[in-house]
Amino acid sequence: MNAFKDGELPNLIKTLLRPAPRLPLAVLLTRAVRRIASRRGDLIERLGPTARVPVAIMPSDLPFSFRVNLDGASARVEVVTVEEAETAAARIRAPLLILLGLLDGTYDGDALFFSRDLVIEGDTEHVLALRNTLEQADLTPAEFAGLHGPAADLVNRATAELLSGARRLVHAPAPQKLPS
């Protein structure tokens, strides 16, 4: 029997994450998206009106969600309860590893939607705008951490291996990006 529901994190990890340090996580993520927003004005332009709309990112295998606002210098990420996230105008719900795979281009958003691994609710236009902007962003883990040079390469490679291993471990859908 498969110990894991497709693509979801195991219960042990969920339990460990439950008393997650929410405030420091929010501060860390807010700093990261502001850094990206200030360096990549093209992305904010691409987002259009969606930049002013809070979008909920809801990892279905975590006990909390993220409410993301990408409005330039006042961009922020809040860690909120699932109930609070439900009130956002647009909501994206999927297991965490799948959401991370969308961020780095491992998965195609439409394909995840067709297979029902990804659920979108609310104003579809904002979800599309965010998805399409992420496609152009080519964001790397190092960019989130504000790293450059050899350190950035190291972090990117290590994260990619870690995520790919984790995806195999929990039987997440196969990456849609074929090996070159």
Q: Does 69 bind other proteins (CB under 8 A)?
A: no
Q: Of 126, 141, 167, 170, which one interacts with other proteins (CB under 8 A)?
A: 126
Q: Does 159 bind other proteins (CB under 8 A)?
A: no
Binding residues for other proteins, rule CB under 8 A, total 43
Q: Does 174 bind other proteins (CB under 8 A)?
A: yes
- Nearest approach in angstroms of CB 141 to other proteins is 17
Q: Of 41, 52, 135, 151, which one interacts with other proteins (CB under 8 A)?
A: 135
Helices marked H in the chain — which ranges? 11-17, 22-39, 41-47, 82-85, 96-103, 109-114, 124-137, 141-145, 149-169
Q: Does 10 bind other proteins (CB under 8 A)?
A: no
Pick between residue 79 and residue 100 the one whose CB is nearest to other proteins. 100
Q: Does 100 bind other proteins (CB under 8 A)?
A: no
Task: Output the six-digit token pair for 40.
Answer: 């990549």
Pick between residue 79 and residue 92 the one whose CB is nearest to other proteins. 92
For residues 3 and 177, give the distance between their C-alpha atoms in angstroms, rounded to a whole number: 26
CA 148 to chain centre: 21
- Torsions phi, psi of 47, nearest 5? -65, -30
Question: What number of other Cβ atoms are within 10 A of residue 175's Cβ?
Answer: 16
**Is 85:58 a contact under the CB 8 Å cutoff?**
yes
- CA proximity to 41, closest of 151, 136, 165: 136
Q: Does 128 bind other proteins (CB under 8 A)?
A: yes
Q: Of 121, 140, 147, 155, which one interacts with other proteins (CB under 8 A)?
A: 121
Q: Does 129 bind other proteins (CB under 8 A)?
A: yes
Q: Does 109 bind other proteins (CB under 8 A)?
A: yes
